[in-house]
Amino acid sequence: MTALSPQTEQNMRQLFRRFNRFMLLMWRLGLGRFINIWPEGGGRIMVIQHIGRKTGQVRQTPVNYAAVDGEIYCTAGFGAVSHWYRNLLAHPDVEIWLPNGRFHAHAQDVTDQPNALPILRQVLINSGFAAPTVGVHPKTMSDAELAAATKSYRLIRFTQREAAEGGADLLWVWPALLGFLLGIVWFKRLYAEEDEI
């Protein structure tokens, strides 16, 4: 794999940032389970809720993940410059949103552990289209090729703790939307009846 030019990398980061906003909206609408039904295409996606290292504000970041031996893993594909990755280093106690619920977890960089490469490969396979988009083909690359292509990547392990409270905060949108649509149907029928009189 050839290294991405700085401009291409910047463009890719902006593209993924926009895609992440959409993914976060889907989770907030209660559709997190449904966006994970086609992992080969869209990938396996979870959300990390973390604390900004400078602002102290709560942030949410959608990422691809893999569950390996009871632990959850993700990668910072743009490396140690990723803001969310640096936030995890500063505040490793986070909340992760998985298709089966929300959990408190402890994040730890395990990039330098001996078994990191096969786990990283699984995370990248679980990324669906994302890894191939940046020229990384985890299903066909040798270990040496994958290690070279991902040398700046960081592998993060999340050790789950107790379940977290809360759920999709925008679930209210669905009944409101249904009420709006039913109102339109009711008004259409009302005006249609008046026209017949």
- Identify whether residues 122 and 178 lie together within a single domain: no
Q: What is the CATH number of the domain that holds 109?
A: 2.30.110.10
- Identify whether residues 10 and 87 lie together within a single domain: yes
- Identify whether residues 105 and 173 lie together within a single domain: no
Contacts 24+ apart (CB under 8 A), 78-84: 78/9, 78/13, 78/152, 79/152, 79/153, 79/154, 80/152, 80/154, 82/154, 83/52, 84/48, 84/50, 84/59
Distance of CA 3 to the CA centre of its chain: 24
CA–CA gap between residue 161 and residue 102 (Å, rounded): 10
Q: Supply φ then ψ for residue 60, to 5 degrees.
A: -125, 135
CA–CA gap between residue 43 and residue 131 (Å, rounded): 10
Per-residue pLDDT tens, the chain, 197 aa: give them.
445 666 666 666 676 677 778 877 887 788 888 877 777 777 899 999 999 999 999 999 999 999 999 999 999 988 888 999 999 999 999 999 998 889 999 999 999 999 999 999 999 999 998 899 889 999 999 999 999 999 999 999 999 999 888 776 666 666 676 776 777 777 777 777 666 65
CA–CA gap between residue 183 and residue 172 (Å, rounded): 17
- Identify whether residues 20 and 73 lie together within a single domain: yes
∠ CA 111-114-118, nearest 5°, is 75
- Identify whether residues 90 and 138 lie together within a single domain: yes
Boundaries of domain holding 172: 168-197
User: What does pTM read for this prediction?
Assistant: 0.78
- Identify whether residues 87 and 155 lie together within a single domain: yes
